[in-house]
A and B are shown apart, each in its own frame.
Chain A
């Protein structure tokens, strides 16, 4: 593990609710980066989106954060971060990345500051922060007005993307079809999920509203929370309305 670049994976999204599929993204991404021999993934962060994102059926963020926390009880490397959800308004993904990057820099300098005799090592150097997402997000870069071009560029140039494959998507194609993505191709890591698993939170919400079981699709502790708080008892997703603003975030 000599001289590997430390990496932190950040996943933004609704997590409405969090499912085993979301959790798999982290595991698959970590395996992939480790296999390159170049990286050491040191942390994973789940950042549920702000309520003001305005997506239909979004339950209040304090619930979504609580559910993620429960889901991560048994993980020793992934944590939930509520900063994004606590801001006054919705903020672009690149701003969330910038925030977490500065947090990482701050704790890295703090750690080095603690022991001035210790030469700076790879482990105390600030890790590289990368955006973790499914292949569907890569496609949304093409949606007009959903992302600012300058933001897309900053995400792939300054941070980097780890994109986990999903059925029905062609991430290579999306990259080739975009000049910005092609230019920073080296900073986009395409990870293949070896065990296809199409659990969508949309499906989970619908199943819950129809009184159907969702056991084994999400952690038991999350299901318990949902029942205790009576979440997702009604579901309007079958009416099929969605605005452009709603696209681009993982469900």
Chain B
């Protein structure tokens, strides 16, 4: 069955015992982290249940042209959902803006898009930006980006892995090339050999449905993404997504690897609409984080001209897949 959080009270039921331990939230608790309790025995049981959970890293690929509050909400909704199943613990979120070689119409230079995403995630304790994909000369298929990040996590887990319930983002900017170091003082709760977290692809329903666009995805890539990694898909129309999965053989085969998360608050803050509003001199405040809005204003990066970038150019995946089919 497709895992679907269609009923908010079902979320609570699924949460089970380990999430019912509540204490007064402190100023640093942003709402979905593990809460401690005062009783040692409860803490031990709590910890044991935590250890049985699979750690997950949510990876979002996309243009982020520009990043919006909707993108950021995807992470929050997905984390809440995965954590509440009792089977997973989301330890990190990664935003991976696509490279310029993707050739999408209106795509502005990657360094702007990466910077805006970094500004947007400054106040997040667990979501960060990774520029690796954007720095590659050629466009990189999504499955390869997933593979890159999974391999990195596995390399990092050979060192002492984090033992905190959630990965705290260090405040200093860190070069992503270094394996993650435990910068916080946390008492180790278990031996060093811990499995690396699982990377899952975070997306909206539009990505799920894009699997149906001819030549946009290689079918073996779709299967690999689902089988080796898994999808966390945030959607407002849960039944449409379920229908789409039902009607696709490859999605149906991997339905257990697709987690559908319901978005109750219709949140249509699409980047396309943001760019349109900007061209028309309309305000985008409160649709994107303030620092992003200020950056856009300061640099004047979106205009009628910028919207015409790559006009008439074939999208890189279409180009590549058609060429490979021809050869």
Residues of A within 8 A of B (CB): 20-21, 23-24, 27-28, 30-31, 74, 167, 194-200, 203, 206, 208, 210-217, 220, 223-224, 227-228, 230, 238
Q: Are A213 and B8 in contact (CB under 8 A)?
A: no
Q: Are B290 and A74 in contact (CB under 8 A)?
A: yes
B152 close to A (CB within 8 Å): no
Q: Are B266 and A198 in contact (CB under 8 A)?
A: yes
B216 close to A (CB within 8 Å): no
A-B contact list, 30 entries, CB within 8 Å: A20-B287, A23-B285, A28-B282, A30-B283, A31-B282, A74-B290, A167-B266, A194-B273, A194-B277, A194-B280, A196-B268, A197-B269, A197-B287, A198-B265, A198-B267, A208-B31, A210-B8, A210-B12, A212-B80, A213-B30, A215-B72, A215-B73, A215-B76, A216-B73, A216-B76, A216-B289, A220-B123, A227-B31, A230-B24, A238-B9
Q: Are A211 and B268 in contact (CB under 8 A)?
A: no
Complex contacts, A215 vs chain B, CB 8 Å: 30-31, 72-73, 76, 124
254-308 of chain B: CB within 8 A of chain A: 264-270, 273-274, 276-277, 280-287, 289-290
Q: Are B283 and A28 in contact (CB under 8 A)?
A: yes
Contact of B265 among A194, A195, A203, A223 (CB under 8 A): A203
Total contacts A to B, CB within 8 angstroms? Answer: 98
A116 to B53, CA, bound (A): 75
B225 to chain A, nearest CB (A): 26
Complex contacts, B282 vs chain A, CB 8 Å: 28, 31, 194
Q: Are B286 and A203 in contact (CB under 8 A)?
A: no
- Known contacts A27-B286, A227-B29; decide if A194 and B276 are in contact (CB<8 Å): yes
B52 to chain A, nearest CB (A): 20
- Known contacts A215-B30, A216-B69, A223-B30; decide if A203 and B264 are in contact (CB<8 Å): yes
- Known contacts A20-B286, A195-B273, A215-B72; decide if A227 and B268 are in contact (CB<8 Å): no
Complex contacts, B286 vs chain A, CB 8 Å: 20-21, 23-24, 27
A84 to chain B, nearest CB (A): 23
Q: Are A213 and B27 in contact (CB under 8 A)?
A: no
